[in-house]
């Protein structure tokens, strides 16, 4: 843990300089109603921590963000994602392309059908999200996970949280001293505390603050986000 704290201190050493110059984070962005990627109807509403196709974002200080991005670019990066509708996959592919990083898709052992994703109390996704102890099985493994220093982790919002299969993934590897950068996609649901609740599954990792992308976000939105990264408050 001491090594992790020292590493994070090195990453964020520019904070002292920035604060001394009297700079601070700015801009509040959007707040929205609850919905899931699988069955939500697009709703236009302002929320915090969201990038839409027009790139509104709650942004930290630029100097700190640029420092973080440079550190990430100098590290060995892996982009991981789980997607059922293709929205999260699109953001993940853009992230991997910009960072020149390999891409890993989380593949469920039992694929999700349209019935599984339906907006019904008995649908598989509903049942899974209502039980925090469920761990859907994953096909395959990340080769040489120990070699990666930074892991971008993408997921859709299901009932306000990350799918349970993301918990399966995080519990399958040792993330000690790695940096995890979460991102999610949804039509109108905010990221909420979905990223913060994942911390418990990789407590020895360093977490950056998560970001939510709206459907239709392109590589320009992803590039904008990568230049506005910030440390998770928890």
68-76 long-range contacts, CB within 8 A, separation 24+: 68/11, 68/12, 68/208, 68/229, 68/230, 68/231, 69/226, 69/227, 69/229, 71/11, 72/99, 72/150, 72/179, 72/181, 72/226, 72/229, 73/99, 75/149, 75/150, 75/179, 76/147, 76/148, 76/149, 76/150
- In order along its 234 residues, the chain shows pLDDT tens digits of 545 445 544 544 433 333 333 333 333 333 333 334 444 433 333 333 455 444 444 444 566 677 788 888 888 999 999 999 999 999 999 999 999 999 999 999 999 999 999 988 899 999 999 999 999 999 999 999 999 999 999 999 999 999 999 999 999 999 999 999 999 999 989 999 999 999 999 999 999 999 999 998 999 999 999 988 887 766
The whole-angstrom separation of Cα 190 and Cα 37 is: 11
Output the CA–CA distances (angstroms, integers) from residue 126 to 10, 157, 192, in the order listed: 42, 12, 18
Q: What is the predicted pLDDT for the residue at 70? A: 87
Domain boundaries, the chain: 2-41+60-226
Domain 2-41+60-226 has CATH 3.40.50.360: yes
Beta carbons within 8 Å of 47's beta carbon, 6+ residues apart: 29, 30, 31, 32, 190, 212
Nearest to 106 by CA among 167, 158, 58: 167
Q: What is the predicted pLDDT for the residue at 62? A: 61
Q: What is the predicted pLDDT for the residue at 138? A: 98
**Span between the terminal Cα atoms of the chain, in Å:** 15
């Amino acid at each position: 843990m001491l090594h992790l704290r020292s590493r994070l201190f090195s990453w964020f050493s520019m904070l002292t300089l920035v604060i001394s110059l009297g700079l601070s984070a700015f801009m509040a962005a959007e707040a929205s109603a609850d919905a899931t990627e699988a069955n939500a109807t697009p709703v236009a509403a302002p929320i915090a921590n969201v990038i839409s196709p027009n790139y509104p974002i709650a942004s930290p200080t630029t100097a700190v963000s640029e420092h973080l991005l440079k550190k990430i670019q100098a590290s060995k990066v892996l982009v991981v994602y789980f997607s059922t509708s293709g929205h999260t996959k699109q953001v993940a592919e853009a992230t991997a392309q910009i960072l020149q990083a390999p891409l890993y898709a989380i593949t469920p052992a039992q694929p999700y059908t349209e019935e599984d994703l339906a907006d019904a109390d008995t649908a598989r996704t509903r049942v899974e999200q209502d039980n925090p102890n469920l761990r859907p099985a994953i096909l395959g493994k990340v080769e040489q996970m120990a070699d990666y220093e930074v892991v971008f982790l993408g997921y859709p919002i299901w009932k306000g949280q990350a799918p349970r299969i993301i918990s399966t993934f995080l519990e399958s590897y040792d993330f000690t001293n790695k940096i995890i950068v979460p991102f999610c996609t949804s039509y109108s649901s905010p990221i909420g505390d979905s990223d913060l609740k994942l911390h418990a599954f990789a407590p020895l990792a360093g977490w950056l603050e998560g970001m939510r992308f709206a459907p239709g976000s392109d590589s320009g939105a992803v590039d904008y986000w990568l230049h506005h990264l910030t440390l998770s408050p928890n």
